[in-house]
Amino acid sequence: DTAVSQTPKYLVTQMGNDKSIKCEQNLGHDTMYWYKQDSKKFLKIMFSYNNKELIINETVPNRFSPKSPDKAHLNLHINSLELGDSAVYFCASSQDQGSYYGYTFGSGTRLTVV
Amino acid sequence: QKEVEQNSGPLSVPEGAIASLNCTYSDRVSQSFFWYRQYSGKSPELIMSIYSNGDKEDGRFTAQLNKASQYVSLLIRDSQPSDSATYLCAADGGSQGNLIFGKGTKLSVKP
C-alpha cells in the first residue's frame, strides 16, 4: 500500500517536448507539494496545494503547471522541456497546511532532458 | 529569504562511533524542525521531528533544538554502515506551511 505514489519513475525525453508527472496519495492528507531536487541534492519547493487550492507558487517558469483534480491527486505538466529541467521531482503530502507533522514523500521522478 | 544551512560533508565516522550533524536556520518564526534521511536514488524519509528546546531521543537518534541560537542537531549513536546516507535538515516556512530544506550532509560510516 504505497502512501504517496508518483508515475513515471523515470522519464527521458527530448528538448521541446511536453510531459506530465502524476502523483496520488492515499493518506487522507489535505496538502500536497511538488519539490525539485537538483544534482547537488538541494530540495526546493515549487508548488503546494491545500484541498485543491493553490497555496504556494514559487518562482518557476510558467512552462510548469500543476493541476489538482481532487485533494488526493496533484499532477505536474511541463511544456517545452529544456535541458535545465533535468532533475528529480518529488511529490509530497502533509496532514496539515502548516507542515507540523512533516511530509511523506513519493518515490520521485527522475527527469532527463536530452 | 528563509534559509536552512548545513555542512555538505562528507562526514566520515567509523562504525560504532557517534555521528554529529548540525544545521542552522534563518527564520525565528519557524516552530517545527525535521531530519530526513535520503539514501542514494531514494526519496527522503522522515526520521526525527522536534518542536521544543532541548533533546528528543528515539532509539539511536537524538535531535537537539536551541531556538535562541537557531540551531538544530542530530546525533546518531553506535553508527552503522547502514546509516550511510544524506541527512536533510528542514524547518517549517511559517504561515505558508512549506518546509525549507538544507542542502544535506552526506554521512559515510566505515566498517
Whether the pLDDT of residue A89 is over 90: the answer is yes
Confidence of residue A2 (pLDDT cuts 50, 70, 90): confident
Q: Is B37 exposed, middle or buried (0-12, 13-18, 19+ CB in 10 A)?
A: buried
C-alpha cell at B106: 552526506
The per-residue pLDDT for B73 is 97
- Closest by CA to B44, choosing from A105, A84, A112, is A105
- Closest by CA to A37, choosing from B72, B16, B90, is B90
Whether the pLDDT of residue A98 is over 70: the answer is no
Interface test with A, best of B6, B42, B43 (most A CBs within 10 A): B43
Whether the pLDDT of residue A88 is over 70: the answer is yes
Task: Compute φ and ψ for B83, nearest 5 degrees.
Answer: -80, -10
The residue of chain B nearest to residue A48, with distances taken between CA atoms, is B98
Mean predicted confidence (pLDDT) in B69-79:
97
More confident residue, A52 or B4: B4
A21-67 pLDDT per residue, tens:
999 999 999 999 999 999 888 999 999 998 888 887 787 899 999 99
Q: Is A78 exposed, middle or buried (0-12, 13-18, 19+ CB in 10 A)?
A: buried
Nearest to A102 among B42, B49, B103 (CB): B49
Three-state secondary-structure class, residue A73 = strand
Is residue B2 within 8 Å of B100, Cβ to Cβ? yes
The per-residue pLDDT for A64 is 95
B16-71 pLDDT per residue, tens:
999 999 999 998 888 999 999 999 999 999 999 999 999 999 999 999 999 999 99
Q: CA separation (Å) from A97 to A32, A49, A102, A109, B21?
A: 9, 9, 10, 24, 28
CA distance A58 to chain B (A): 11
The per-residue pLDDT for A96 is 80
d(CA A47, CA A23): 13
Q: Rounded to the nearest 10 degrees, how much is the dihedral formed by the CA atoms of A7, A9, A12, A18?
A: 20
Nearest to A31 among B46, B90, B97 (CB): B97
The per-residue pLDDT for A108 is 97
